[in-house]
Structure 1
């Protein structure tokens, strides 16, 4: 008879997420993960499968959380304010958390386009964000607050690229003040 699980699966997943976020997939050993999660090898495999399956679950959890935050900030205030809030929301005040950058961007750096399953996951998130940013840009153009000469799709791609750049700059050690200045500068480029 199998012993019942003696740990909180969600808490263990959150701890694994933090390891992957900080170290990436390849540099996170099974022992690193087990230690952080506070579970044995058999519990890790029994509850989460292999390291890759655990990574994908952790990445999915991370992306659900961050994407919902992005969409909430994007919808807060007028179109320009929403886009600025989206970008400013990427800047963690805590130095250690800010230095982690973004787990999703980290997966791009680590895997590039070599992993079809990861590409599909990232594309889903990117498509949702792009669509919602386009809507805010169009809204701003209709209100006369965003430059109507801008193509909404291209402007949304610029905002997404800015998000990636901010997260890479954060990982590279940029200060909170510098990142916020970059976020405001990017949002200002959309104005009439």
Structure 2
């Protein structure tokens, strides 16, 4: 029988997510991970496997949490246009939390591009889910008269998804909350009737 873990696995994973989000995969060393997670090398391997397996778990957890938050902001208001606005505005940090700017998922695309099929599939799945849900909200908005009925819902959803990614990159590049909110408002106004 193995020794029990001497650390909180979920908390250690959260620290790894924060570090990968801030630095990316290549710039994060195993030593960096051990230090921030507060664990020994063997504990890392026993609990998470190697650095790549830890990254995939960290990215998967991040994407799940981020997508859940995106969908909640999108789906909560009865107004489809307000839901889309909330989705975009919510990408801008509303507090002074120490989280890294931008998105770990967008960072992974920037770092790996199409060279890693497993990461590509993770990102494609999230993209499809979000874009499909935005398209449904656009159709709802067209039905209730909030959104221009002459635009194609799927193309408009692609536009909103592009705006999401653009806002996340702008945040990573240092854009402030006010600038991001202005850009989000401009994108939403393109959908209005």
TM-score, structure 2 length as denominator? 0.96
**Distance in 1, Cα, partners of 2:7 & 2:94:** 31
Equivalence for 2:72: 72
1:75-108 alpha-carbon deviations (Å, 9 max, x no partner): 1220100000000011003456575210000000
1:122-151 alpha-carbon deviations (Å, 9 max, x no partner): 011111101100000000011111111111
Aligned to 1:190, the other structure's residue is in SS state coil
Runs of at least 5 residues in structure 2 that lack an aligned partner in the other structure: none
**Distance in 1, Cα, partners of 2:83 & 2:158:** 16
Equivalence for 1:108: 109
**1:13 equivalent in alignment to 2:1:** no
Equivalence for 2:120: 119
Is this contact kept in 2: 1:87–1:183, CA < 8 A? Answer: yes
**Distance in 1, Cα, partners of 2:89 & 2:106:** 17
CA offset at residue 2 of structure 1?
A: 3.0
Equivalence for 1:185: 186
Q: 1:95 to 1:101 in 2, by over 3 A?
A: farther
TM-score, structure 1 length as denominator? 0.97
Aligned to 1:101, the other structure's residue is in SS state coil
The structure 1 segments of at least 4 consecutive aligned residues displaced by more than 3 Å after TM superposition are: 94-99
**Distance in 1, Cα, partners of 2:118 & 2:16:** 20
Aligned to 1:93, the other structure's residue is in SS state coil
Aligned residue runs from structure 1 range 1-192, under 5 A: 2-77=2-77, 78-94=79-95, 97=98, 99-192=100-193
Is this contact kept in 2: 1:98–1:171, CA < 8 A? Answer: no
1:151-192 alpha-carbon deviations (Å, 9 max, x no partner): 111100110110000010001110110000101110111001
